[in-house]
Amino acid sequence: MNHWWEIPKHQTSRNNQLWIANQKATRLAKQFQTPLFVYNANRIRENYRRLCEAFDATGAPYSIHYAMKANPHPAILALLRKLGARIDAVSPNEVRLAKQTGFSPEKIFFTGTSVSNDDLTELIASGVLINIDSFSQMRRLTEKKFDGNASIRWNPGTGAGIHDHTITGGKFIKFGIPEKFILKAFQTARTNGLCVVGLHQHIGSGWLGNDVQKFLKTVEKTISVGKKAEKILSKPLEFIDFGGGPGIRYQEKQTDFPIEKYAQGIANAMKKNSLNCPVVIEPGRFIVGDAGILLTEVNTVETKNIPVIGVNAGFNALIRPAFYGAYHEIVNANRLHTPVKVASMVAGNLCESGDVFNTDKYSLRKLPKTREGDILAILNAGAYGRAMASNYNLRERPAEILIDEKKTRVITRKETFRQLIQNQKP
Ligand code: LLP
């Protein structure tokens, strides 16, 4: 029996059981304890390669900067570095970790917002490219005599995203230089003697096929600004960066992201406008999102006013449903095809009524009749999962394991009580 979420060699069903990279999910849960994030290295590689193939087919020069905020685990960074990825970092610590993992500074772009003077000092010393987000940042970089490479982030006026919080283009948006000031920003940068080599946009995160057209309109706009910027700077741009954002299929009703249409659309727009510099993209979710799942064990099954399945993870482990009303497919790893379905609330173990893994507390999910001790798998948890985890309710953040072919290893141990309180003074 096939389920819409099956991905050959990665996430499959066999004998009523969920298998991840050829390992039985329930066995992993038993061996490594739950809650547990499980990643499949080969799926990460495959996603990265799918992007490369789509851009290779256009013949245009490009580079891929992995948005490490989606999942900054050093083992994942190392894996992507070996494939030739570069890095999009958003904090000095992300830059530090990327460098520690072997990325050289020229392969790292820093795109931060509300950046402090101390952060700027550290970034300048680190040798990475700084993507300027505001006139304030530009002024302070000038005062600090920054002579490294910079680019400018602009807000092209429209955005797209999986949720209002993840849209980053438009009026009520804190990021980038707005349209009315963008040419002035390039003029100021030139007057101030900053070495601006690129232009950047990121309209939002987690959009799908329907939004590609909207995205491509912003690409056209950005290219037109890029051409004006070249005139202002009296030199060609070294790159134009269209940000991240390609989504993944979280729900059956969605379709896979059309990467060919996306890559070809970008390449066509560049060609049509005779802009020849390399294109940069900064995907995060597309690379790691469907490569990770969260395994959690069922603690309680009980019909209260509604049927409630209580599990041993909460929004401290995966906040996306509670924070964005995000849909994550939930499957019973040891009863995949059990025909009897019960519309249930899959509830976390935190003391908040919004701590559910359904999209909200009113949207019950039809699941096979579940028993205590069953293992539920929350799919598509590889991006913005462990990365956004917290210690709310003094819960430890879950462990992480990486399966790479025949080798499975713990890449993050579960936190301990001691670690949670070690910086606190009574
Ligand atoms: N570049 C910039 C400048 C960004 O701000 C982001 C994401 C990316 C690239 C990568 O976007 P991606 O390709 O992963 O969509 N926590 C939210 C997503 C927030 C995204 C923040 N910025 C979520 O769980 O949906």
Sketch the domain layout of the chain as residue ranges. Answer: 11-40+289-421, 41-287
Cβ(335) to ligand 1 under 6 A?
no
Asked if residue 74 has a cis previous peptide bond (ω within 30° of 0), the answer is no
CA proximity to 11, closest of 35, 39, 30, 51: 39
Q: Are strands 108-110 and 86-89 parallel, antiparallel or unpaired?
A: parallel
How many A from CA of 23 to the centre of ligand 1? Answer: 30
DSSP code, position 167: B
Instruction: Give residue 338's pLDDT.
Output: 87
Instruction: Give residue 127's pLDDT.
Output: 98
Contact (CB, 8 A) for 5 and 260: no
The arrangement of secondary structure in 41-287, i.e. its CATH architecture, is: Alpha-Beta Barrel (3.20)
CA-closest residue to ligand 1 atom 20: 205
CA proximity to 389, closest of 320, 332, 304: 320
Label residue 214 exposed, middle or buried (CB < 10 Å: 0-12, 13-18, 19+). middle
Cβ(332) to ligand 1 under 6 A?
no
CA-closest residue to ligand 1 atom 9: 244
Give tens-digit pLDDT for 49-76. Answer: 999 999 999 999 999 999 999 999 999 9
Label residue 18 exposed, middle or buried (CB < 10 Å: 0-12, 13-18, 19+). buried
Q: Which of 50, 51, 69, 212 to mutate to test the pocket of ligand 1 (most atoms within 8 A of CB)?
A: 69
Size of the chain in residues:
426
Distance between CA 230 and CA 139 in Å, rounded?
21
Give tens-digit pLDDT for 250-259. Answer: 999 999 999 9
Helix axes 259-272, 212-233, angle to 10 degrees: 30
pLDDT in tens, the chain (426 residues): 689 999 999 999 999 999 999 999 999 999 999 999 999 999 999 999 999 999 999 999 999 999 999 999 999 999 999 999 999 999 999 999 999 999 999 999 999 999 999 999 999 999 999 999 999 999 999 999 999 999 999 999 999 898 889 999 999 999 999 999 999 999 999 999 999 999 999 999 999 989 999 999 999 999 999 999 999 999 999 999 999 999 999 999 999 999 999 999 999 999 999 999 999 999 999 999 999 999 999 999 999 999 999 999 999 999 999 999 999 999 999 999 888 899 999 999 999 999 999 999 999 999 999 999 999 999 999 999 999 999 999 999 999 999 999 999 999 999 999 999 999 999
Same-fold call for 11-40+289-421 versus 41-287: no
Contact (CB, 8 A) for 285 and 202: no
User: Which residues participate in the annotated binding site?
Assistant: 245, 282-285, 320, 324, 352, 384
Cβ(111) to ligand 1 under 6 A?
yes
Judged by DSSP in three states, 82 sits in helix
What are the structure tokens assigned to 228, written together? 């004006």
- 351 assigned to active site: yes
User: Which residues participate in the annotated binding site for substrate?
Assistant: 285, 320, 324, 352, 384
Helix (H), strand (E) at residue 137: helix 135-143
How many A from CA of 416 to the centre of ligand 1? Answer: 29
How many A from CA of 218 to the centre of ligand 1? Answer: 17
Q: Which of 199, 205, 286 to mutate to test the pocket of ligand 1 (most atoms within 8 A of CB)?
A: 205
Instruction: Give residue 2's pLDDT.
Output: 86
Number of the ligand 1 atom closest to the C-alpha atom of 131: 3
Contact (CB, 8 A) for 308 and 302: yes
| The CATH number of the domain covering residues in 11-40+289-421 | 2.40.37.10
